[in-house]
Amino acid sequence: GAGVSQSPRYKVTKRGQDVALRCDPISGHVSLYWYRQALGQGPEFLTYFNYEAQQDKSGLPNDRFSAERPEGSISTLTIQRTEQRDSAMYRCASSPLDRGTTFFGQGTRLTVV
């Protein structure tokens, strides 16, 4: 596609429910990143993939958070047993292999009530 596509754009979920956020990167981009952004703060790194391999997951806050990219293209970030503190904007980004020229999607606004 023309840009990084994320879905849904908005998600409201009840505390304790699981959510799955989807990212479709720019075609041909090998590296895919997930970031989380709180209001008024810069994006915070969560995890990233090269192809289907998860290179770094040091930013995932705890084991309720996981991500996968099974075929090296679309990625899913899953949050299990959501908590109110998980409410944030979740942004996906992609780039050619390991480059800092990264293109961000519009994000998914997650609200846990």
Which residues on neighbouring strands pair with residue 102, listed in sequence order? none
Q: Which stretch binds another protein (CB under 8 A): 14-22, 60-68, 74-82, 99-107?
A: 99-107
Q: Does 102 bind another protein (CB under 8 A)?
A: yes
CB-nearer residue toward another protein: 40 or 70: 40
Q: Is 51 an interacting residue with respect to another protein (CB under 8 A)? A: no
Using CA atoms, how far residue 80 sits from 8, 11, 21, in Å, is: 17, 14, 11
From CA 65, how far away is CA 57, in angstroms rounded?
10
Q: Is 43 in the site for another protein (CB under 8 A)?
A: yes
28 is a site residue for another protein (CB under 8 A): no
Q: What Rg, from alpha-carbon coordinates, does the chain have?
A: 13
Measured at the CA of 111, the angle between CA 105 and CA 113, to 5 degrees, comes to 170
**Given candidates 5, 45, 72, 74, which one binds another protein under the rule CB under 8 A?**
45
In degrees to the nearest 10, what's the CA dihedral of 89, 93, 61, 37?
-30
Of the residues 17, 41, 78, 111, which one makes contact with another protein according to CB under 8 A: 41
Question: Which residues contribute to the site for another protein (CB under 8 A)?
Answer: 4, 31, 33, 35, 41-45, 48, 50, 55-56, 59, 89, 91, 93, 98-107
